[in-house]
Amino acid sequence: MKMRREIFAIALSGLVAMGIVGCQSASKTEQTAKEETEEARKRADEAGKEVSQAVKNAKPELNKAGEKVGQAARTVADDANAAVRGAKEGWDKGRPTVVNLNSASEAELVTLPGIGHREAKKIIAHRPYVAPDDTVRRGALTEAEYEAIEERVTAK
């Protein structure tokens, strides 16, 4: 029985020693994990500061680029408006003017194709007209003369 007690005491002291070592090992692992976590936090903080500084440095350049893009857009819009105005002016110049048979002067009437001073005086003498083709019915113009000007006259 004495021997058993001695063996039990040896075994117990071994287990106690292992427990202490195990506790020290777990304590060291926990300490290492804390240190590594702290290092990772420091690296993340430094990276965040670097990104923040990069954004801060880029902001003025981005603002300048935005202003240039805005100015370019305004220039393009102005150029497009000018082109539209030019096209409209060209269209208006290319389109024949419409002459009112009831109010046009002799000078305006002779601008019509095939109308001379003699025809213009006849048109003026037979006024007023309800419709442009009244010029033919009243004898101011021939059918052929009227067909040459019908797209360019009105009777308002």
pLDDT tens digits for range 75-97 = 777 667 666 766 666 665 666 68
Instruction: Identify the residue whose tokens are 């497009």.
Output: 80
CA 145, CA 156: separation in Å to the nearest integer?
Answer: 20
- Which pLDDT does position 81 carry in this prediction? 67
**Spatial distance between the Cα atoms of 121 and 155, rounded to a whole number of angstroms:** 16
Of 149, 66, 32, nearest to 101 by C-alpha is 149
Name the residue with tokens 């202490």: 20
Residue range 105-127, pLDDT digits in tens: 999 999 999 999 999 999 999 99
pLDDT digits (tens, 9 = 90+) for 28-84: 888 888 888 888 788 878 878 888 888 888 888 888 888 888 888 887 776 676 667
Q: What is the pLDDT of residue 69?
A: 84
Confidence of residue 148 (pLDDT cuts 50, 70, 90): very high
